[in-house]
Structure 1
Amino acid sequence: MQHSPSIVAMLIVFLILLGIMWLGGRILAKWHPVYAGKRARAGYWLVTALAVVILIFSRWLRPLSGFPGEWFRYFIYAAYVWMVGLVFMLVVLLAGHGVRLLARKLSQQSKPLQAGRMVPGGVTRREFLQRAITVVPAVPFAMSAYGVIDGDTKIVANRYTLSYAQLPFALDGFTIAQISDTHIGPFFGMDKLERVLDMVRQDEPHLLAITGDLVDDLDLLAPTIERLTAFQAELPCGIFYCWGNHEYFRDISRIRKALYSSPIAVLENSHQAVKDGLYLAGVDYPWGKNKAEQETKRQDYFAQSVSKIPADAFTVFLTHHPDFLDNAFMAGVPLSLAGHTHGGQVAVFGASVLPVQYKYMKGMFRQNGSYGYVSAGAGHWLPLRIGCPAEISFFKLKRGIS
Structure 2
Amino acid sequence: MRFIILNSIILLVLDIYIYKALRATNIKWAKSRVFSILWWTYSVLLFIGIIATVYLDLRLTVRSIVLVAFFITFVTKVVFALFFLIDDVRRGALWVTRRLFNKNRDAGEPLPAEVSDKLPEEGALLNEKKKGISRSDFLAKTGIVLAAVPFTTLSWGIVSGAYDYRVRRQKLYLPKLPKAFHGMKLVQLSDIHSGSFYNQKAVLGGIEKVLGEKPDVIFFTGDLVNNLASELKDYKDIFAKLKAPLGIYSVLGNHDYGEYHFGHAPSPEKARNLELIKKAQREMGWDLLLDENRKLKVDNEEIGIIGVENWGAGTRFPKYGDLKEALVGTEDMPVKLLLSHDPSHWRAQILDHPDVDATFSGHTHGMQFGVRTKSFQWSPVQYIYKEWAGLYQEGRQQLYVNTGFGFLGYPGRVGILPEITVFELQRGENPA
Query: Which residue, out of 243, 246, 249, partners 2:252?
Result: 243
Corresponding residue for residue 399 of structure 1: 427
Q: State the Cα distance separating 1:160 from its structure 2 match.
A: 0.8
Partner SS for 1:52: helix
Q: State the Cα distance separating 1:129 from its structure 2 match.
A: 6.5
Query: Which residue, out of 56, 63, 69, partners 2:59?
Result: 63
Query: Which residue, out of 249, 255, 263, partners 2:285?
Result: 263
Corresponding residue for residue 4 of structure 1: none
**What are the ranges of 5 or more consecutive residues in structure 1 without an aligned counterpart?**
1-9, 65-69, 102-107, 110-114, 117-123
Which letter maps to 1:337? Answer: F
CA distance in 1, matches of 2:379, 2:151: 20
- 1:1-400 to structure 2, matched below 5 A, reads 11=2, 14-23=5-14, 25-27=16-18, 29-30=20-21, 32-34=25-27, 37=31, 39=33, 40=35, 43-59=38-54, 60-64=56-60, 70=61, 73-90=64-81, 133=142, 135-136=144-145, 137-216=147-226, 218-219=229-230, 221=232, 224-232=235-243, 235-249=244-258, 251-275=273-297, 276-286=301-311, 291=315, 298=321, 301-326=322-347, 327-332=349-354, 333-347=356-370, 350-353=377-380, 357-382=384-409, 383-400=411-428
CA change 1:134–1:308 in 2 (3 A) is: closer
CA distance in 1, matches of 2:280, 2:317: 29
CA distance in 2, matches of 1:17, 1:241: 36
CA change 1:168–1:90 in 2 (3 A) is: farther
Aligned residue pair count: 368
**What are the ranges of 5 or more consecutive residues in structure 2 without an aligned counterpart?**
93-117, 120-129, 259-269
CA distance in 2, matches of 1:282, 1:364: 19
Supply the RMSD in Å over aligned alpha carbons: 3.9
Residue by residue, what CA displacement relative to the aligned partner does 1:60-85 show, whole Å, maximum 9, x if unpaired?
A: 43524xxxxx4674454334332333
| Range 78-87 or range 326-335, more displaced | 78-87
Residue by residue, what CA displacement relative to the aligned partner does 1:79-129 show, whole Å, maximum 9, x if unpaired?
A: 43323333444457668999999xxxxxx99xxxxx97xxxxxxx798996
Matched-pair identity in %: 23
CA contact (8 A) 1:21 1:86 kept: no
CA distance in 2, matches of 1:171, 1:385: 35
Partner SS for 1:277: strand
TM-score, normalization by structure 2: 0.72
Which letter maps to 1:255? Answer: I
CA distance in 1, matches of 2:357, 2:340: 14
CA contact (8 A) 2:304 2:333 kept: no
Which letter maps to 2:42? Answer: V
